[in-house]
Structure 1
Amino acid sequence: MPIATRAFAATSAEAPLTPFSFNRRDPGPDDVAIDIKFAGICHSDLHMVHNDMGGSTYPLVPGHEIAGLVTAVGANVTKFKVGDRVGVGCMVDSCRTCASCVEGEEQYCIPGFTGTYGNPDKHSAESGQPITQGGYSDKIVVDQAFVLNIPDSIPLDVAAPLLCAGITTYSPLRHWGVGPGSKVAVVGLGGLGHMAVKQAVAMGAEVTVMSTSDRKKADAERMGAKHFLINSDKAAMKAAAESFDLIINTVSATHEIASHLQLLARDGTMVMLGLTTEGLPVFAVPLLWRRRSVAGSLIGGIRETQEMLDFCAEHGIASDIEVIAPDQINEAYARLEKSDVRYRFVIDIEKLDLAA
């Protein structure tokens, strides 16, 4: 029997999010039913709600940073039991047969993974929903292969953003081999950037935060950054030339990056994580002169996401959050567009009230 679900949804690219009721599918043999307790607000939620990249379908329930408790499991489920603390990130399925999926890199599924919201839902016959609907809701049903264990030491509210922000930064730090002695710069101290700083410091790197002003310098130092660089300070930028093995660029707005390439050491890489919707000019000479690279990275696979959660638990890493009620979502969106959050909004789903 379908599960009645309450949520907040966007009904168009221009309309504010409003209360919305729909059905989740009844858990199948491989499914886990979850009562959602907290859901993070990711900058990509804004892009999807506003149809910035095209293809958004409405009504749309955003949210792919989900933390909650298991309420039911299917007959074939072996990884979870009722009462477990669990999370769901950006994916709820993939083809599971392509090379990327077989290698545990489901985020690079060749046909494309099934996003937690806004993608065609292969279970639409059971739920009545043509697209997947996300975590700004009180319940969700997910195949056990795409559910994560949240360690007991991480409170659910600060755990929620780890399911996207946490893995988005952890994956490139691991892929590019960050460890003791590494010199890492993080561009932008926001939802992604503050996680990159904490994780890189825990891995043993010497971390520099790059920003447009010094208003977050104290926060960066509190998180373990050794240096703070204002990227409009030409003298400071020149002095920092050829300093970094890796630059994690988390900025989601269109911005100048060509000058940042001079900061990379030989064989250094700048990894782009922000969902910018316009081109960013890059020139060949700074790249070839020191064999530098500009690269991209997209979340992480399920195995690596669990590794990240365990790493954060081991090192006492959590997101810095501002908890809001569901009826404050539109206000949070407006503030997020102005970068007015330190450093992640998290919705307290237990306060969901459709009368709001």
Structure 2
Amino acid sequence: MNRISKIVLFLLCVASVEFTQAQRIQSEGLAAIDNKGNFEIYKFTRHPIGDNDIFIDILYAGICHSDIHHVHEDWGKTEYPIVPGHEIVGVVKKVGKNVTKFKVGDYAGVGCIVNSCGQCDYCKQGLEQFCEKGMVVSFGSHDYFHNNELTMGGFSKNYVVSEDYAIKVPANANIKKVAPLLCAGITTYSPIHFSKVSKGQNVAVAGFGGLGHLALKYMVALGAKVTVFDITEEKRQDAYNMGAIKYVNVKTPDELKKSQDQFDFILSTIPAAYDPMMYVKMLKMGGEMAIVGLPPTDATPNIPTTSLIYSAHRKVYGSLIGGIPETQEMLDYSVANNIYPQVELIPATPEAVEKAFKNVVDGKVKFRYVIDMSTLK
């Protein structure tokens, strides 16, 4: 190969590299830098916009207790820096050439799941959260579709996702309150409908936080009679304002009296150590208890099998978010029925997020923090 040919080849290689690099999406977000919950503004890149992808400018991102567990390494090791956030809503700014579900200017949401194999029986049933190869989650996950790069979440300026894993947000939605529905909404909606909660049933929600208050709203909308169990007095009136027929402070023994054999369904959203059997005993025979709260690994409650035998014919099961079709169903139902979380907007600064994380852990939030990502500077 002569000298001119070598130069041409070199220039082509350089151009190819520059072209490839140019395709990556520049982004910036709020990244946790350690397990203490310290945050910094962090620049990073996302994978290129594929033919089936949409590019979203993020407007709002919810803060979920799961974000905190992940950052604090409550469930295992975390790779830092990491941009959390799996309750995401924004505006579509670009679409790949094969995209038909969205157009530029549409609202779009992103929840926990941003990819899965699409081929296994679970994926084909719209249960992508149980994908046999493993779902790719919106942050802290090695994306096997994109060179195993670490996914970065919604505490950021933008997101790139396949249209198949994005949720259409109606134009008339209360956009400032939509984001938490993408996790807290579907996490509570799914078991409520799986257990066929219906009008007139006596039901309960244990834990009255970000998930619990949405569970209350969904079950009230279905016509059920809802009792709320929590550990604080500060939220008693909130529960009644949202339609609860009774509020029980579990730290007050007198309020717990006459609770056994009362409920057709109980949804536990508690993200800390507790005694599940206390609630199992509150079920009627044939009643069902769904568990969606995920405490830290070292605080995970256990249910002795012997206790279940002596509380026979009560059913206990776990529920994990929901697949993409059910998440879309939930969002459409929520908007149509004006069911939204109660939120407090905070600015996109490290200091605000650090304070919000602490307040969630300390139980000092009513009921969901949402970051206004337009304020990220």
Per-residue CA distance 1:205-261 (angstroms, 9 max, x = gap):
111101123321110011111111222343443312111111111110111222222
**2: CA distance between counterparts of 1:258 and 1:318?**
31
User: 8 Å contact 1:117–1:134 — kept in the other structure?
Assistant: yes
Amino acid at match of 2:59: K
- Indicate the larger mover: 199-208 or 254-263: 254-263
Q: Which residue of 2 aligns with 1:172?
A: 191
Q: Which residue of 2 aligns with 1:102?
A: 124
**2: CA distance between counterparts of 1:78 and 1:124?**
22
Matched, 1:335 2:359: yes
**1: CA distance between counterparts of 2:134 and 2:200?**
36
In structure 1, the gaps of 5 or more residues are: none
Q: Which residue of 1 aligns with 2:18?
A: none
Q: Which residue of 1 aligns with 2:85?
A: 63
Q: Which residue of 1 aligns with 2:7?
A: none
Amino acid at match of 1:280: P
Amino acid at match of 2:360: L
Q: Which residue of 1 aligns with 2:303?
A: 282
Q: Which residue of 2 aligns with 1:292?
A: 314
Q: Which residue of 1 aligns with 2:28?
A: 6
Matched, 1:135 2:154: yes
- Pairing partner for 1:231 from 236, 250, 270: 250
User: 8 Å contact 1:241–1:263 — kept in the other structure?
Assistant: yes
Q: Which residue of 2 aligns with 1:118?
A: 140
Q: Which residue of 1 aligns with 2:5?
A: none
**2: CA distance between counterparts of 1:182 and 1:111?**
39
Instruction: Tell me by how many angstroms 1:282 deviates.
Output: 2.4
Instruction: Tell me by how many angstroms 1:193 deviates.
Output: 0.4
**Alignment RMSD:** 1.5
Q: Which residue of 2 aligns with 1:220?
A: 239
Per-residue CA distance 1:294-331 (angstroms, 9 max, x = gap):
21111001100011011111211111000001111111
User: 8 Å contact 1:65–1:88 — kept in the other structure?
Assistant: yes
Per-residue CA distance 1:111-163 (angstroms, 9 max, x = gap):
221000001023545xxx82011000001000000000112232221000000
* SS in structure 1 of the partner of residue 143 of structure 2: coil
Q: Which residue of 1 aligns with 2:208?
A: 189
Number of aligned residue pairs: 350
- Pairing partner for 1:245 from 243, 260, 264: 264
Per-residue CA distance 1:70-128 (angstroms, 9 max, x = gap):
00111111100000011000010011111111111111112221000001023545xxx
The structure with more radius of gyration: 2
Amino acid at match of 2:229: M
**1: CA distance between counterparts of 2:346 and 2:56?**
21
User: 8 Å contact 2:54–2:163 — kept in the other structure?
Assistant: yes
Q: Which residue of 2 aligns with 1:37?
A: 59
- Indicate the larger mover: 184-193 or 149-158: 149-158
User: 8 Å contact 1:261–1:286 — kept in the other structure?
Assistant: no
Instruction: Tell me by how many angstroms 1:292 deviates.
Output: 1.0
**2: CA distance between counterparts of 1:12 and 1:228?**
38
User: 8 Å contact 2:204–2:265 — kept in the other structure?
Assistant: yes
Per-residue CA distance 1:40-69 (angstroms, 9 max, x = gap):
000010111111111311221100000000
- Pairing partner for 2:180 from 158, 161, 168: 161
Q: Which residue of 2 aligns with 1:23?
A: 45
